Amino acid sequence: MLRDDIRGDVEYEIGHIHGAKTTPLGSLVFRVVRLMNPDSQVVIYSAGGDCDLAWQAVRRLENHHMTDVRLYETGLAG
């Protein structure tokens, strides 16, 4: 399972979920699609609440045929 924090590097350094990797939205497809199997579990989160970045990330990965993409809706706050 890969846990990706799609916020920027500075926000990631301020705080992130233990074990998560920083993968800003712009490099997400390369990191996940190119380096992982299509059926690998990927959990995406961002700041939570009204932040749309995580939903964008999920859509991008699903459009690239990743089959087990999950959204941690409450994000870092959760």
Which pLDDT tens digit goes with each residue over 24-53? 888 888 888 788 889 999 998 888 777 788
Residue boundaries of the structural domains of the chain: 2-77
CB within 8 Å of 49: residues ≥ 6 apart = 75, 77
CATH number at 2-77:
3.40.250.10
CA 62 to chain centre: 12
Report the distance separating Cα 78 and Cα 66, nearest Å.
25
CA atoms within 13 A on the CB side of 38: 6
Indicate if the pLDDT at residue 62 is higher than 90: yes
pTM score of the predicted model:
0.80
Candidates 2, 13, 28; CA nearest to 76 is 13
